């Protein structure tokens, strides 16, 4: 049976390739990606202490400030020539990934003998990446090392910010186990008018966005705010649909991601890659979309999640 471990193995292989390709030119970068590959391959066997040491190693390499910017790969003039030749048709390659993820999610759940149905979406997403990679290589007549070299160059540009989602999601789990959600819930519930469903929904949606802005990632905010408001109030007290509450609640958190410099890998990295004069320029452009979208998500929870 194909399980999530296959996806981890694939991700580890990609990071290991980045480490090998950059070993001579950028040894610090190579060490960083090698540790990340090790976490993907052997995380289950390292144990808590081993994983803790590995994370400290990643933090140490990232904090020295010497992870160099990626270079090399396909020359810029060649990339420009291909962009002019193929135009917007290049987006077909990118669209293969979500299309495969959607189709696979629906199909793989009907194949419990071969595919782990609980992880169907992530497995389908990984399959979509492989199909898009193969299609891109065949269509653009690129060698097998080209996507790896280009991927290494991009990841070297992003640097330590590439692992922020995993780090912050782990931090959210630690906060949840430490009981931060209970403390936050006690404070928020005192501010919500007694018996107000709308007030509870607003507190949950707005709390997801604000806590995401503080933490930098909706995955870190989710366990805290769901434990504080989502489960005790929206689900248990008002009998809301947990699937709708959690799904749209995450979308509310993503609205916060668009508005915070703490989400460096989503916001500050793009400004650096594009060499924008204003490092917060990306965030300023996104606020106009994030705020009305947050309001819509809160209203959707209120309209759809409760009978």
pLDDT digits (tens, 9 = 90+) for 6-40: 999 999 999 999 999 988 888 889 999 999 999 99
Collapsing DSSP to helix, strand or coil, 144 comes out as: coil
* Residue that the structure tokens 């070993």 belong to: 23
CB-based burial label for 193 (10 Å; 0-12, 13-18, 19+): exposed
Q: Nearest 5°: CA angle at 20, between 19 and 25?
A: 85
**Average pLDDT of span 209-238:** 90
**Average pLDDT of span 187-199:** 86
**Average pLDDT of span 247-276:** 84
Residue 296: pLDDT band by 50, 70, 90 thresholds? very high
Q: How many helices (H) and strands (E) does the chain have?
A: 13, 0
**pLDDT tens for each residue of 61-112:** 888 766 666 555 667 777 788 778 888 888 899 999 999 999 988 888 788 7
* Residue that the structure tokens 């810029």 belong to: 76
Cα–Cα dist 65/76, whole Å: 26
CB crowding 215-252: b at 16 or more within 10 Å, else e = bbbbbbbbbbbbbbbbbbbbbeebebbbebbbebbbbb
Residue 257: pLDDT band by 50, 70, 90 thresholds? very high
Q: What is the pLDDT of residue 115?
A: 86
Helices (H), 64-115: 76-86, 91-108
Q: What is the pLDDT of residue 235?
A: 95
CA torsion sign for 167, 173, 178, 183 is positive
**Average pLDDT of span 186-208:** 90
**Average pLDDT of span 259-263:** 88
Residue 165 near residue 265, CB atoms below 8 Å: yes
**Average pLDDT of span 221-233:** 90
Residue 4 near residue 116, CB atoms below 8 Å: yes
**pLDDT tens for each residue of 164-182:** 777 777 777 788 788 887 8
Q: What is the pLDDT of residue 73?
A: 62
CA distances from 119 to 106, 125, 127, 201 (A): 12, 10, 12, 29
**pLDDT tens for each residue of 100-155:** 999 988 888 788 778 887 888 899 999 999 999 999 999 988 888 888 988 888 88
Mean of per-residue pLDDT scores for the chain: 87
Residue 273: pLDDT band by 50, 70, 90 thresholds? low
Cα–Cα dist 167/55, whole Å: 9
pTM over 0.75: no
The size of the chain, in residues, is 307
Percent of the chain with pLDDT strictly greater than 90: 46
* Residue that the structure tokens 């609980």 belong to: 118
Q: What is the pLDDT of residue 18?
A: 93
Q: How many CB atoms lie within 10 A of CB 283?
A: 21
């Amino acid at each position: 049976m194909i399980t999530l471990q296959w996806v981890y193995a694939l991700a580890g292989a990609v990071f290991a390739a980045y480490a090998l390709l950059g070993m001579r030119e950028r040894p610090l970068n190579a060490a960083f990606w090698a540790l990340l590959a090790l976490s993907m391959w052997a995380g289950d066997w390292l144990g808590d202490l081993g994983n803790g040491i590995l994370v400290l190693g990643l933090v140490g390499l990232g904090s020295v400030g010497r992870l160099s910017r990626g270079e090399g790969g396909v020359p810029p003039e060649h990339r420009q020539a291909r962009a002019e030749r193929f135009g917007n048709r290049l987006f077909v390659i990118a669209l293969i990934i979500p299309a495969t993820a959607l189709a696979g999610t629906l199909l793989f759940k009907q194949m419990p003998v071969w595919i782990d149905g609980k992880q169907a979406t992530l497995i389908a997403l990984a399959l979509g990446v492989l199909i898009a990679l193969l299609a891109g290589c065949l269509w653009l007549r690129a060698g097998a090392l080209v996507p790896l070299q280009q991927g290494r160059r991009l990841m070297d540009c992003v640097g330590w910010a590439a692992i922020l989602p995993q780090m912050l999601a782990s931090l959210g789990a630690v906060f949840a186990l430490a009981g931060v959600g209970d403390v936050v819930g006690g404070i928020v519930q005192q501010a919500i008018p007694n018996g107000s469903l709308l007030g509870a929904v607003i507190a949950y949606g707005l709390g997801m966005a604000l806590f995401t802005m503080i933490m930098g990632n909706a995955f870190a905010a989710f366990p805290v705010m769901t434990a504080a408001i989502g489960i005790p109030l929206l689900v248990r007290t008002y009998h809301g649909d947990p699937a709708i509450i959690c799904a749209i609640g995450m979308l509310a958190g993503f609205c916060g991601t668009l508005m915070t410099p703490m989400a460096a890998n989503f916001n500050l990295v793009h400004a650096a890659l594009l060499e924008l004069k204003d490092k917060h320029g990306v965030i300023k452009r996104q606020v106009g979309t994030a705020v009305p979208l947050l309001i819509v998500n809160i209203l959707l929870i209120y309209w759809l999640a409760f009978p």
